[in-house]
Structure 1
């Protein structure tokens, strides 16, 4: 379907479709070739290709029009030849039947495309519900994020991220639900809903982490009771807290996720790794992951990715070297540590490394403090967002 979308864009000029030009040129070419070849080389029956091409790229009525024009043209061109060189009734039936079948095929194609576009609209609405749009400067943070679904038609998956301001600072959550499909999307939505409430009201980040763990267990129990195969589902995640009164450090709770990278003019360093188990598996260790307080300079950006980035492979099977590539880019130009540039750099690097063949949903999210608090900060104690 992605191919079909690009095809339609290529066949438009100034917003108007020019798809009809292709079958028209084919029609004219066949007629001219038939008139400019010897009598023994009659190709007018090839005109059956015209409605066939129209069925692939044009609408139903345009295809029907080309089917009719092809029949009329066939009759006119064939009658212009002497009797002994006429193609005859059999080829006429071929052209007429080809036009009817091409029109039916065009109707089926157009209907199918409308259905797929409708499904994609639903998927896009679902994605926006899970990954709600945020302004680039929000709650004292500058951020940028990109989500690439492994299934380009579905556009949705289990990756998630969000920023929640509140009276106790700003919290950031990035994660990846195990598995694919609507079950993973539903789990991501459940975790984000809990994060948006707990991230606003709870003062202690460890309490937010506990609420997320409990939500994962409750959600899994509920879906299992419904007879769905989500009994073993879990999610890796990184929970980060930015305090308003502590601007040189952040709090990090890592649920078995890829370790965040602190990216700045002085290079790249790795924050505490996923020393805890994923969400939903806390009963295996009897507790939550530890909370780490780590320094973060004002000019450093936190880069968080899902395993679609670190597990992207090239043709020989080598993984994408995230830290090395980011360090090389920032060393060459320190401005690439800005969230927007950093996200674009990683996104392009992953797609180039994997030749566009993503094996898993891929999320790249970058965030850093703004130099001065923005207008949202005074409103944090009024109403949750």
Structure 2
């Protein structure tokens, strides 16, 4: 599976610190040391009427931004000692005297305190990033290659980079009745959307395994969304009316190459193959949480759609379909994918397809994502068909892997 794609120009704390390292050794001490030397040399290179040695107070300030507490304290002492030595070398009438001495000393103390506050804030930020990453891996669990006998790849781009997770969700659940796939988008943003996505995924992982009928899995998802809305409403929260669009797929264990599709108010998947791009039939179901408005008629119809050899199902959320350029033009997903497949049929491979759509979306929107964006591609592995040859069986396709 492809990892989450970082937005251009955005670096976390660990990466920023790596920029100050060469072959594993920290060079954070080099900028303040160079500044210390430059200020001292400049002070001796100017006349007595224009003294620059007081600028040495900047040295511990620079160290506070990139060094540790002890390093900043050392540069504060070096700045103070250098100031006294440099100022004493001038005749009395040109010495800056006690006021600047107090300034340099106070600057070193304040810089050391500021460095301590900075490091404490960075540690807290790293801790929050680890919590966010754990939450992301819990909601959007990593899937091993070939999970559920499907070739798959996914990219998730959160509109809120600090949160790292939002209302988009997807998963694959193998079962005795076939492999089930779910992709969806919870209305709204924030922790409430994450909470609803986690509730739906939990139900999908249980119902997708135990239930033989895909329509029953769909009904369980609708019930879970209603229960979640009722719980949040009982808590008096203002986000108790959330709903979610979703696509539910089922790949039967045996039989012809078909996929079962149930759509809850979401854009239908695209079937991408060497022969081109086609859209699966539009769904007739309402979003999850709204099906009760029309009773049983609001539940989606489960359709069986044949799949051609080598076709990959591409599922995206509205972060892709609603991505706009500077002129307000939507990203032409179907046209772009069709053009790419015509040039290189290997673009239909799940990993290549997801990477192509990811790059195209970011390029079209100039890196600005107004909503969470999920790109998910799945393709059934080729099935082995046994044919007897001289009393022995010979596989006409590659063997299945466990």
**Structure 1 length normalisation: TM-score?**
0.94
**Is the CA contact 1:2–1:152 (under 8 Å) kept in the aligned structure 2?**
no
> Is residue 187 from structure 1 mapped to residue 213 from structure 2 by the alignment?
no
Partners of 1:80 and 1:3 in 2: how far apart?
A: 45
Between 1:300-309 and 1:245-254, the stretch displaced more is 245-254
Corresponding residue for 1:135?
Answer: 144
Corresponding residue for 1:338?
Answer: 349
Corresponding residue for 1:316?
Answer: 327
- The structure 2 residue matched to 1:293, chosen from 295, 304, 323, is 304
Corresponding residue for 2:53?
Answer: 44
Corresponding residue for 2:17?
Answer: 8
Deviations 1:37-76 (A, max 9, x none): 2322311111111111111222222111111111111111
Question: In the TM superposition, what are the counterparts of 1:95-134 in structure 2 within 5 Å?
Answer: 95-134=104-143
> Is residue 374 from structure 1 mapped to residue 393 from structure 2 by the alignment?
no
> Is residue 155 from structure 1 mapped to residue 164 from structure 2 by the alignment?
yes
Superposition deviation, residue 248 in structure 1: 2.2
**Is the CA contact 1:183–1:230 (under 8 Å) kept in the aligned structure 2?**
yes
2:281 counterpart SS class = coil
**Structure 2 length normalisation: TM-score?**
0.90
**Is the CA contact 1:138–1:374 (under 8 Å) kept in the aligned structure 2?**
no
Corresponding residue for 1:272?
Answer: 281
Between 1:336-345 and 1:285-294, the stretch displaced more is 285-294
**Is the CA contact 1:164–1:199 (under 8 Å) kept in the aligned structure 2?**
yes
Partners of 1:34 and 1:48 in 2: how far apart?
A: 13
Instruction: Tell me the C-alpha RMSD between the 2 structures.
Output: 1.6
1:139 counterpart SS class = helix
**Is the CA contact 2:181–2:248 (under 8 Å) kept in the aligned structure 1?**
yes
> Is residue 327 from structure 1 mapped to residue 353 from structure 2 by the alignment?
no
**Is the CA contact 1:143–1:368 (under 8 Å) kept in the aligned structure 2?**
yes
* Structure 1 segments unaligned to the other structure (5+ residues): 377-385
1:262 counterpart SS class = strand
**Is the CA contact 2:243–2:287 (under 8 Å) kept in the aligned structure 1?**
yes
* Structure 2 segments unaligned to the other structure (5+ residues): 1-9, 384-398
2:313 counterpart SS class = strand
> Is residue 94 from structure 1 mapped to residue 120 from structure 2 by the alignment?
no
